[in-house]
Amino acid sequence: MQLNDWQREIEAYLLGQEPTPNPALRASLLSSPALSAEDGLAIYHNAYRARLLEAVRDDYHAVHGWLGDEEFDALAGAYIEAHPSQHFSLRWLGARLAEFIEGYLVAEQSAPLSELARLEWAFTLAFDAPEGVPLSLQQMASLPAEDWPTLQVRLLPSVQWQSCRYNSVAIWRALKDDTAFPGSVLLEQTQVCLIWRQGLISRYRSLSHAEATALQGMAVDGWSFADLCAQLSELGDNAPLQAATWLRQWLSDGLLQRYGI
Amino acid sequence: MSTESACLGYGLGLRSTYYQEILEQRPDVDWFEILSENYLVDGGKALYYLDAIGEHYPLVMHGVSLSIGGPHELDRDYLQRLKHLAARVKPAWISDHLCWSRGNAHQLHDLLPLPYTEESLQHVAARVRQVQEVLERPLVLENVSSYLRSADDQFSEWQFLAALSELSGCELLLDVNNVYVSSRNHAFDPWDFISGLPAQRIRQLHLAGHSDYGSYLIDTHDQPISDPVWQLYQRTLQHLGPVATLLERDDHYPPLSELLAELDKARVFAATALPAEPLCN
């Protein structure tokens, strides 16, 4: 058999569900007294599934914890079959699990589970995102007063913005800490959770609606500090203080980089 | 075998489990081998520790995704990223495996053996030359453990490696454990393999543990090196002289002290095998 044909047969065999080879592939292999061709093929067949399944499990501890071994393995197996790996690194294998869950389960089950999956994937994205250049409190303290009104910032590359309709953060935390499962609850109002890396440490924090609106305005929509103060005008004289308090918090969290200089 | 490779000494595979201990204790390890793919990322912990550990130890890059024997086009993006990483790491050399890990359509994430035919030889040699042009250095290729044997083989694996090295200029990473595992699975004499390789092309040795399933073995890297592999290692050193040796562990990670003790065992075996040779510093 030509090399390319043989490799096509092996690839089809590994990706297929059936551990028995077709006759052409079987005939292309030799057995030894120690290891038959069928057993040798089965070693690769099992290893392929085990390796990919382990990679998905490693990235989705909470989804796994919620579903349990059997249901998770069925989900991950179906996912791997639908989305075989396209990247040289298994790091990216699980990238589309949340989206896959939406089509795999009925809507009422899939919505909270896919949200949890998105949250977990966000942690992986924050984990190895580029460093960026964090804007520090110290740098802000030395910023000339005349530069404050026009100051613009953006989120650092590791910051992941997750809008949660369910109590996914509480579920994630409970499964991580191995404490009582809180049960899935639809929140009264969508909540923003930020996931990011500060130095080498992965962090997360839920934001109030007002803080999320302010951060979105400044770090995503391009408001200047003066714009932020203007948006908070209903607070009257307290607007600059509230804006400065949030900005201090975002800087000490390590969320921001300077933009437009 | 070059003086440079001889003097790299006794190394460990760098794994994240041991990052902090390595930095704090600076163990008596002559060099570390990194899994290149773990560092082809944009930022974070892995790159931080890579830089920090690289300040204190020589590093070698070892990949698993090149798929040098694959049916697909070589992944130029992967090669460029590898080259970029090499500029950061300044490795003593860059290695991967004589295998294919990607098919026509998908990544298969395994070190799959090739049929050892003239067709495979020409296919792989041409690709090795392309890789060496991009990386601007000889590629070092490792023999894999295998559980399949093609009925079309025209060469033994060692004849294939020797011919490939001759044709392409690549160097060899001799994994003594893989030789032993494959020799048991395919019923050949491991010494035929090792003595059949061109000694002057062998850059590095690998040592690792395997799992015994009765009639056959699986290369699991999750336990200590077995006695037959130690014996084969000792005989290999007697045959080759001093060669950079690396201990791999990829699962069931023991305390670092156990791996250091196993590395010392390699030093003792080497001292016994090479009484007249100065040990690597």
CA distance B206 to B209: 10
The CATH number of residue B152's host domain is 3.20.20.150
Count of domains for chain B? 1
* Residue ranges in chain B assigned as alpha helix (H): 3-6, 19-25, 45-54, 76-89, 118-135, 157-168, 176-186, 190-195, 227-240, 256-273
The reply to whether residue A34 touches residue B103, judged by beta carbons under 8 angstroms, is no
Domains assigned to chain A: 1-104 (no CATH), 115-261 (3.90.930.50)
Query: Quick one: angle between helices A97-104 and A107-127, nearest 10?
Result: 170
Q: Output the pLDDT for position A233.
A: 85
Name the band, by pLDDT with cuts 50, 70 and 90, for residue A57.
very high
Alpha-carbon B81 to chain mean position: 20
Interface of A with B in 44-83 (CB under 8 A): 44, 47-48, 51-52
| B160 falls within a domain | yes
Query: pLDDT tens across B49-96, in order?
Result: 999 999 999 999 999 999 999 999 999 999 999 999 999 999 999 999
Contacts of B110 in chain A (CB under 8 A): 14, 44, 47-48, 51
Q: Judge whether B267 lies within some domain.
A: yes
Complex ipTM: 0.95
Residue-range definition of the domain harbouring residue B61: 3-273
Residues in chain A with CB shorter than 8 Å from the CB of B75 are 88
Kindly tell me if the per-residue pLDDT of B6 is higher than 70.
no
Question: What pLDDT score does B7 carry?
Answer: 67
For B274, residues 6+ apart whose C-beta sits below 8 A from its C-beta are: B237, B238, B241, B242
DSSP H/E element including A9: helix A3-15
| Strand B100-102 relative to strand B107-112, pairing | antiparallel
pLDDT value of position A28: 97
Distance (Å, rounded) from C-alpha B33 to C-alpha A116? 36
- Contact call for residues B222 and B209 (beta carbons, < 8 A): yes
Q: Determine the pLDDT at residue A239.
A: 85
> Hey, what amino acid is at A246?
W
Q: Is residue B8 in a domain? A: yes
For A198, the closest chain B residue by CA position comes to B44
Cβ contacts of B29 within 8 Å, gap of 6 or more = B10, B11, B12, B22, B57, B260, B263
| A19-52 pLDDT tens trace | 999 999 999 999 999 999 999 999 999 999 999 9
Residue B19 inside a domain? The answer is yes
Predicted confidence (pLDDT) at residue B4 exceeds the cutoff of 50: no
| B62 closest CA partner among B173, B185, B138 | B173
Q: For A35, which of B71, B123, B147 is closest by C-beta distance?
A: B147
Average pLDDT over residues A52-74: 97
- Name which of A254, A112, A34, A135 is nearest B146 in CA terms: A34
B133 domain-assigned = yes
- What is the value of pTM for the model shown? 0.94
The predicted pLDDT at position B2 comes to: 42
Query: Which residues in chain A have their CB less than 8 angstroms from residue B115's CB?
Result: 3, 6
